[in-house]
Chain A
Amino acid sequence: MHRDALQEVANVAMGEAGAKLAELLDTFVRLSVPRILISDAAEVPDTLGKLLEPHNAVTAVRQSFLSRIQGEAIVLFGEAGCAELADLMGYDGVLAPSERREVLLDIANVLVGACLGGVFRQFGLELGFTAPSLLAEDTPAQRLIRADTLDWSRALLVEVNFRLEQGAFSSHLIVLLPERSIDRMRESLDQIIAAL
């Protein structure tokens, strides 16, 4: 039941996020239906590898979000279509490497904010963010996170695919919630269910 409720909350949030991103970028965007997985922390690297093409090198940006429910969002980018999106984000001309990184950080921030903002609004929680930072460049997906560096045992993964209707740009948003936050999210979902 919690899972269905979360799926519903996530679907609504992504619908809103898609509309807002389209307005901001002035182009059609596609957000996939979120996939929700509960995983043992030890399996997170493999799960990430399976969600994506395991051998494809990805560039990843991470960003922490802070509220009663805390966690980390990771946005994974392929190489294609970055320049187009950069133009939509207000960047001019050919991108230097540092500008390319800034575009990716910007996109990640916008994507994470739009998607999580919608979820937390439904929970009635104010959400804060830390600055996004680069997690990895051109690294195989399953090597992004090392299981032994996770200090919790179970994780909730929410995966959303974001792409522009026209052009090649696409990225994945993955939200990782540690165990303690999973319990708190359950409470928030209980409240939503009770209010129905």
Chain B
Amino acid sequence: MPDRSELLEFAVDRANIGIFALDREMHVLLWNRFMADHSGKESAEVIGRNLFDCFPDLPRRWLEKKVAGVFLLKNFAFTSWEQRPYLFRFHHGRPVTGGIDYMQQTCTFVPVKNASGEVSAVCVTLVDATDTAIAYRQLERAMATVRENARCDGLTGVFNRRHLEERLSEEFYRSRRYGGPLSLVMLDIDHFKRVNDVHGHLAGDEVLRIVAARVSEAVRASDIFGRYGGEEFGVILPGTDIAGARVVADKLRELVSGQPLAYKDVGLEITVSCGVAQVAPEHTTYEEVIRLADTALYRAKREGRNRVCA
């Protein structure tokens, strides 16, 4: 039977975490199997040597301060992969990880006290947190996708109605508080039902996609464009008055109407009508602006389509 100290030595050496110890001058006092296997340096190569001579890549100034703090304050210290992904450049043995370069590490620095209570060494444990980090990053990516999906329209890829209304609401209150004009363009594809009836729903979908793509490319970076529903789109124009909004709407109308849309071998002549409205002091909610733009849009339809009304 191994005795207790043999067992302890074995446990420290073969534990599936990194364990090493440093003196005040950063000389290595202990270097277990895990550290040797992952660093490629056997304990005989590093013990008695300065840690930074063995591993010049380590963040020296920071780590010296950290260890000095443990000696001086007789206190634990910690590092987490969440803020500092790694101390040592160890490979993580998971080649298919996407974006994680080295083993993610969580470390605890423990003061080793002698009989008189003085700190004589610092013992460091290093835990491989790569699996946690990978799971966490996958979760973050999934969350980003969910957030993206929640605000985008599945067919056209532009913002959906909910996001459009959220942004309009924000811009509405910003404009009321800080001043500055705010306009809204509602844009509707003319005779969209006819496209669906004559060419089929797939053609209708393609028309929506092409119109969305053309408008997306044309709007300014500060404008917010989305699909309001059906064949109706909305463009929020912060910092733009009604005259400017008319110019934008007319440009968008020409962009869609001026050139036939290619669907299979057919060129579809598509036109759009636009209604434009600007936020006025008497408006108390953003919905009133939508209503106003919608009214203008119906007038554009009544007056013969393929035009802009304000």
- The 0/1 profile, CB within 8 Å of A marked 1, for residues 64-102 of chain B is 111011001111111110111000000000000000000
Which of A20, A105, A106 contacts B72, CB < 8 Å? A20
Q: How many A residues, CB 8 Å from partner?
A: 24
Q: Tell me if A23 and B62 are in contact (CB < 8 A).
A: no
Q: Does A132 contact B (CB under 8 A)?
A: yes
Task: Give the Cβ gap from A31 to chain B, nearest Cβ, in Å.
Answer: 14
Q: Tell me if A99 and B75 are in contact (CB < 8 A).
A: no
Which of A21, A90, A92, A128 contacts B76, CB < 8 Å? A128
Give the residue name and chain of the A residue nearest to B61 (CB).
Answer: A90
Tell me, in angstroms, the Cα distance from A9 to B67 when the chains sit together: 27
Chain B hits for A20, CB < 8 A: 72-73
Task: Give the Cβ gap from A39 to chain B, nearest Cβ, in Å.
Answer: 27
Segment 119-149 of A: residues with Cβ below 8 Å from B: 128-129, 131-133
Tell me, in angstroms, the Cα distance from A188 to B244 when the chains sit together: 76
Q: Tell me if A102 and B83 are in contact (CB < 8 A).
A: yes
Tell me, in angstroms, the Cα distance from A110 to B66 when the chains sit together: 9
Main secondary structure of the interface of B (DSSP, over half): mixed
Q: Does A42 contact B (CB under 8 A)?
A: no
Chain B hits for A89, CB < 8 A: 62, 65
Q: For the side of the interface on B, what is the size category?
A: 20 to 34
Task: Give the Cβ gap from A94 to chain B, nearest Cβ, in Å.
Answer: 15
Q: Tell me if B106 and A90 are in contact (CB < 8 A).
A: no
Known: A24-B72, A92-B61. A105 touches B80 (CB 8 A): yes
Q: Tell me if B106 and A131 are in contact (CB < 8 A).
A: yes
Q: Tell me if B106 and A102 are in contact (CB < 8 A).
A: no
Q: Tell me if B80 and A113 are in contact (CB < 8 A).
A: no
Q: Tell me if A131 and B72 are in contact (CB < 8 A).
A: no
Chain B hits for A106, CB < 8 A: 66, 77
Tell me, in angstroms, the Cα distance from A129 to B83 when the chains sit together: 19
Segment 82-120 of A: residues with Cβ below 8 Å from B: 89-92, 98-99, 101-102, 105-106, 109-110, 113-114, 117
Q: Tell me if B73 and A91 are in contact (CB < 8 A).
A: no
Which of B65, B72, B79 contacts A102, CB < 8 Å? B79
Q: Does B120 contact A (CB under 8 A)?
A: no
The interface of chain B, by Cβ under 8 A from chain A, is 61-66, 68-69, 72-80, 82-84, 106, 108
